[in-house]
């Protein structure tokens, strides 16, 4: 999820229609105390799917090559859309892309592209579909070189930084995400711009951007940095 994109209109922010059901704490773009008494980043809203994603996935360190690859692909599919749209379709994406198993996706051909373009359960964008297949092949090259996609990705773990307190403290991209983006592009990956890559880093635990006061931030800290 790209929180940098949330700086736009209210309609573009995660779960904006749900914020009114929360007790306000600090500001609409900082932390909120939910009906369940848990203090979370504002963007978690009250949608159960979004809450679960915030509480159990976002920011926790991930080392699975499959999950890392999946997330990079889904962040690419999100471009121009809200993350909740992708999250609601995630199981459909997994079914359509063979669970994002890298060796399998790398073998997809023209027939698979046409099949995916006809699948109403996913985002039917030819460029992003073809990019996913291309990126799977590039991921196999990284695995050959580094032993795993995870080993390559975790070289770019962000250095420690103070806990952000509100949306304006969250960058859309960083020098580290720009460096990772540049290297991925050099290796032939696509739909991996620095903003997309930073959203990926936030989600996969390479940086902890849960806001100060969010109860999940401590759980992420306890999970550690580089696994």
| Angle in degrees, CA 211, 217, 222, rounded to 5 | 155
Any catalytic annotation for residue 53? yes
CA distances from 148 to 72, 79, 144 (A): 15, 26, 7
Structure letter (DSSP) for residue 163: P
Any catalytic annotation for residue 175? no
- 50, 53, 152, 154: which is the annotated catalytic residue? 53
Distance, CA of 173 to CA of 164 (rounded, Å): 14
Comparing CA positions, the residue from 2, 145, 142 lying closest to residue 65 is 142
Beta strand spans in the chain (E):
23-25, 31-33, 39-41
Distance, CA of 97 to CA of 95 (rounded, Å): 6
Distance, CA of 66 to CA of 73 (rounded, Å): 11
- 22, 43, 58, 75: which is the annotated catalytic residue? 75
Instruction: Identify any residues that bridge with 24 across adjacent strands, giving them in sequence order.
Output: 32
- 43, 58, 83, 152: which is the annotated catalytic residue? 83
- In this structure, what token pair is assigned to residue 56? 């159990």
Catalytic residue ranges: 53, 75, 83
């Amino acid at each position: 999820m790209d929180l940098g994109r949330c700086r736009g209109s209210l309609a573009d922010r995660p779960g904006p229609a749900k914020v009114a059901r929360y007790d306000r704490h600090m500001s609409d773009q900082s932390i909120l105390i939910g009906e369940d008494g848990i203090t979370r980043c504002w963007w978690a809203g009250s949608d159960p799917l979004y809450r679960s994603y915030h509480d159990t996935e976002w920011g926790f360190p991930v080392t699975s090559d499959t999950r890392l690859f999946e997330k990079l692909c889904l962040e690419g599919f999100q471009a121009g859309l809200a993350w909740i749209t992708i999250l609601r379709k995630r199981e459909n994406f997994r079914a359509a892309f063979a669970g994002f198993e890298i060796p399998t996706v790398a073998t997809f051909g023209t027939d698979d592209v046409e099949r995916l373009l006809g699948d109403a359960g996913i985002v039917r964008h030819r460029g992003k579909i073809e990019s996913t297949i291309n990126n799977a092949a590039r991921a196999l090259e990284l695995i050959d070189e580094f032993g795993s996609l995870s080993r390559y990705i975790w070289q770019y773990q962000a250095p420690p930084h103070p806990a952000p307190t509100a949306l304006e403290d969250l960058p859309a991209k960083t020098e580290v995400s720009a460096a990772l983006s540049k290297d991925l592009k050099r290796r032939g990956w696509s739909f991996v711009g620095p903003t997309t890559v930073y959203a990926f880093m936030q989600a996969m635990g390479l940086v902890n951007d849960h806001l100060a006061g969010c109860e999940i931030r401590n759980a992420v800290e306890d999970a550690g940095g580089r696994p």
